[in-house]
Chain A
Amino acid sequence: MQSIKHEVKQYVLDNFIMGASSQELQDDDSFMAGHFIDSTGILELISFLEQTFGIKVEDEEMVPDNLDSLNCIEHYVQRKLAVFAGRARKER
């Protein structure tokens, strides 16, 4: 699923990362430690994820393990989508 990471990376680059002089954002870089995103930025990122992937980020899921790097976000969104797909299958 290259596309989740790719889409999120593009969003982060478009909205938070400073110009060409800044260092390249790696998939494992912590947004917080690297100061790519600050605390209100995380809220904007969450609304982006909700809108783009049709998921609902619950309060208790707003933790660094789910949201603090491109890799974390990809795993988290994949898990959310899998749960959603599983539920949809059962309902059918």
Chain B
Amino acid sequence: MLLHQFLEQTARRLPDQVALVCRGTSYTYRQIDEAAARLGAAMQHRGVRRGDRVAIFLDNSVESVVSVYGTLKIGAVFMPVNALTKTDKLAYMLNDARAACLVTHTALRGIWDEALARSPSVRACIVVGGEIGESGADRFLSYRQATATGGMMRIEPAIDQDLASIIYTSGTTGDPKGVMLTHLNMVTAVNSVSGYLGYREDDVILCVLPLAFSYGLYQVLIGFKVGAKVVLEQNFAFPVQVLEVMQRERVTVLPGVPTIFTLLMAMKTLSQYDLRPLRMITNTAAALSEEHIRQLRGLFPQTALYSMYGLTECKRVTYLPPDQLEVRPTSVGRGMPNQEVWLVDELGRRLPNGSTGELVIRGSHVMRGYWGKPAETAERLKPGPIPGEMVLYSGDIFHTDSEGYLYFVARKGDIIKSRGEKVSPREVENALHSLPGVLEAAVVGVPDAMLGQAVKAFVVIKSGQRYSDKDVIKHCLTKLENFMVPKYVEFVDSIPKTDTGKIKKTGLA
């Protein structure tokens, strides 16, 4: 089974069913499938081959969905890139993955123009939202043109061991790492998650999470497997607008992260909307507090609430069945179907229930590794119980109760989770160091009611250099996705160090 075959099967079974609603327009399964085939053919025509990487640098949109499937159909590997990404990082990703094709939007040209100039591997650039002409015409193609004509797509002999996607994730080393996922990895995750959540053909799934974030992406992947309707919104910036869409489309499934639920619950007008069809709320990326859970259950008594845990390296690991929410509200549950999880101590020895240790995951959904990073891969993928098999060391510390339910304790390393997104302190520190006159920088997460954790930077600057916190923040905005940019900047004379000269973050807050 290949990942895009879920769409193709559903398009045969329910061709005229609405697959996607985006900015007020509906698209049927047949329309999405056909547009994807045309886009795939256009990519092939421009020399994109099986195994080539295709970067999709777009907002949530019908074009981003079609691009995912168009890429898969020709045996190529899609690489979703968050639309908030800045030039340097985009160039890094295009070069790191040696991408052959970039699909993007004219509105983002200020970012990709320069990145593209620095990325010789990119042979084709397909642009949504306007005609791209004149200069460098053979590298550019408008999306409209690419999907208008019916060039013949060659069917590639892909198998499920081929890569389907590379998703970049922040790492403790500072350089983003490309998580390599095969068709088998992703099909396995789709089957397990749709199995335990029970998404149905009559579901209307609201996706406000970016498709560059695997939690958002899987709303489409799973929705298209079961033949549901996916309502794609750009983000949660205008909650009233999202609530109107929820009411109008009779949304039944709302996947979110704690920041979104905080915003939602703060709406005084929430009760004016008819949200009765909502049958399921899911949360992952960061834990909901007990108070959040209590409030959500009060507001949506008819709705099942799922607390879950996962990581890009294998998509999803655990979920808490809603009937357990009363019993153990702070647990993220137990392993999902068709996988095995356990805790290990520092020597890698398996621990019994009731212990605290690193979570290890075994299953067909576990990634193939980090693209081009064997050392980082070896830290996470280690030999499993069967010869030749690799299991995933999550880097997250959990506690289990006597029945094996898992409770998140801490992350190994110092990754910050803000707004549900991973922020690498090293990546932020690197951005700070690129500001002239910055001598030292240390970045930590501080508690924040809305964001979970907010990013705080401690900065030592050269004497004579004058910066305000705004200057530092603005500089970071040129380098980092908005959610990584420090919310607080504190200027200090020095930063505490350990005996070996490493920055000591324990005292910083």
Give me the interface of A with B, judged by CB distance under 8 Å: 14-19, 21-23, 32-35, 37-43, 59-60, 62-64, 67
- Is B482 within 8 A of A41, CB to CB? yes
Of residues 251 through 296 on chain B, the ones whose CB sits less than 8 Å from some CB of chain A are 259, 263, 267-269
Partner of B240, one of A22, A35, A38, A59: A59
Assess whether A63 is in contact with B241, with CB atoms less than 8 Å apart.
yes
* Chain B stretch 41-95: residues in CB contact (< 8 A) with chain A: 59, 83-84, 86-87
In the complex, the 6 A-B pairs of residues with the closest C-beta atoms, listed nearest first = A39-B237, A18-B478, A38-B482, A39-B235, A42-B237, A19-B478
Whether B478 pairs with A42 at a CB distance below 8 angstroms is no
Q: Mark B227-251, 1 if CB is under 8 A from A, else 0.
A: 0000000111111110000000000
**Residues of chain B contacted by A59 (CB below 8 angstroms):** 239-240, 267-269
Contact of B238 with A42 in the complex, beta carbons under 8 Å: yes
Between A and B, 24 residue pairs with Cβ closer than 8 Å are: A14-B474, A15-B474, A18-B477, A19-B474, A19-B477, A19-B478, A23-B110, A32-B237, A34-B107, A35-B108, A38-B84, A38-B235, A38-B482, A39-B235, A40-B450, A40-B482, A40-B483, A59-B240, A59-B268, A60-B240, A62-B239, A64-B238, A64-B241, A67-B238
B415 contact set on A, CB distance < 8 A: none
Q: Chain B contact residues (Cβ within 8 angstroms of A): what range?
A: 20 to 34
What separation, in Å, do the CA atoms of A49 and B483 have in the docked complex? 22
Q: Is B36 an interface residue (CB 8 A)?
A: no
Minimum CB–CB distance from B227 to chain A (whole Å) comes to: 30
Q: Find out whether the CB atom of B84 lies under 8 angstroms from the CB atom of A35.
A: yes
Residues of A within 8 A of B350 (CB): none
A16, B84: Cα distance in complex, Å: 12
Within the assembled complex, what's the spacing in Å between the Cα atoms of A23 and B238?
A: 25
Interface of A (DSSP majority class): loop
One digit per residue, 1 when the CB lies within 8 angstroms of any chain A CB and 0 when it does not, for chain B 94-119 equals: 00000000000001101100100000
A18, A33, A38, A62: the one within 8 Å of B86 (CB): A18
Assembly CA distance A60 to B268 (angstroms) = 9
In the assembled complex, B365 has its CB within 8 A of some CB on chain A: no
Interface centre among B84, B240, B473 (most CB of A within 10 A): B240
Question: Within the complex, what minimum Cβ distance (angstroms) separates B7 from chain A?
Answer: 27
Q: Are B475 and A19 in contact (CB under 8 A)?
A: yes
Contact of B83 among A14, A19, A22, A35 (CB under 8 A): A35
- Residues of B close to A21: CB separation below 8 A: 87, 110, 114, 478
- Among A17, A23, A43, which residue has its beta carbon within 8 angstroms of that of B477? A17
Residues A62 and B240 in contact, CB atoms below 8 Å apart: yes
Cβ-based interface call for B419 (8 A): yes
